[in-house]
Amino acid sequence: MCRHCETRALSVCSPLEGEAFYGLQRLNHPVTFPARAVLFNQDSPARHVYTIVHGVVRLYKLLPDGRRQIVGFALPGDFLGLALADGYGFCADAVTAVSACRFSRDHFAEFADQYPTVLRRLHEMATHELALAQQQMVLLGRRDAEEKIASFLLALQQRWGRIHGKTSVTIDLPMGRQDIADFLGLTIETVSRTLNRMARDRLLVIVPDGVRVLDAAKLDKLASA
């Protein structure tokens, strides 16, 4: 029931009311995916668009020789298919079990043309994604391994904070070390070593499926340095 959806405030439907809200709700096909399920591939035609409700999705591109770059993690409230274009620009698969609102791309695009509010919101979300992507370019191009890890952890802490309504010193990391490595332009060994060095230096504690921040100030300094 969209009316009581806990991720509504974060999602594309946040500005909708009345007729527009119900109109979009009528187009919605709720779907779920088990962990590791593929939502779509880079080359496949973009038949659907999605809003993530629960769970985490990794978005990535592959080079012909198998190297992988994760371009983002989609969390609750995030929208997949912002471009409303014929093809997705990347692969998407579920890191955890995922539930999502699925819409036919054509129906959604038609709906967006009818309600400029939706198009405006979509553009707002797209430019926000663009800003994140540019921030990630700085991280990938100009930061060392320790700074990358610190930035990643704090950014994720903030995103979970917005989703849950309160920030926690425990940062959930549903994705594996290899995923973190492929997001930060590192290897799994460097991620592991860096996290464990941070734990040894009392910046954080490694807990099952996450970390707990001990020294936020030092992490902040690393992340912005």
- 207 counts as binding a copy of itself under rule CB under 8 A: no
* Count of residues in the chain: 225
- 189 counts as binding DNA under rule CB under 7 A: yes
**Angstrom distance (rounded) from CA 139 to CA 151:** 8
- 124 counts as binding DNA under rule CB under 7 A: no
Beta bridge partners of 51: 79, 101
Listed in order, strand segments (DSSP E) in the chain are 29-33, 38-40, 48-54, 57-62, 68-74, 79-80, 91-94, 98-104, 170-172, 204-207, 210-213
- 178 counts as binding DNA under rule CB under 7 A: yes
- 210 counts as binding DNA under rule CB under 7 A: no
- Among 2, 20, 71, 214, which residue sits at the site for a copy of itself (rule: CB under 8 A)? 71
Backbone phi, psi, residue 202, to 5°: 65, 30
- Among 9, 35, 38, 138, which residue sits at the site for a copy of itself (rule: CB under 8 A)? 138
Q: Cβ of residue 185: shortest distance to a copy of itself, in angstroms?
A: 3
- 86 counts as binding a copy of itself under rule CB under 8 A: no
Report the run of H or E that residue 23 belongs to, with start and end: helix 18-27
Report the 10 Å Cβ neighbour count for 22: 12
Instruction: Establish how many alpha carbons lie within 13 A of residue 5's alpha carbon, considering only the half-sphere containing its beta carbon.
Output: 24
Nearer to DNA, 18 or 141 (CB): 141
Q: Map tokens 């952890």 to a residue.
A: 153
| Alpha-carbon distances of 78 from 13, 43, 75, rounded to whole Å | 11, 21, 6
- 30 counts as binding a copy of itself under rule CB under 8 A: no
- 187 counts as binding DNA under rule CB under 7 A: yes
Q: Cβ of residue 48: shortest distance to a copy of itself, in angstroms?
A: 16
Q: Cβ of residue 73: shortest distance to DNA, in angstroms?
A: 14
29-48 footprint of DNA as x/- string (CB under 7 A)? --------------------
Residues in contact with DNA by the rule CB under 7 A:
144-146, 176-178, 185-193, 195-196, 206, 208
Residues in contact with a copy of itself by the rule CB under 8 A:
61, 63-65, 67-69, 71, 82-85, 89-90, 113, 116, 119-120, 122-123, 126-131, 133-138, 140-143, 182, 184-185, 224-225
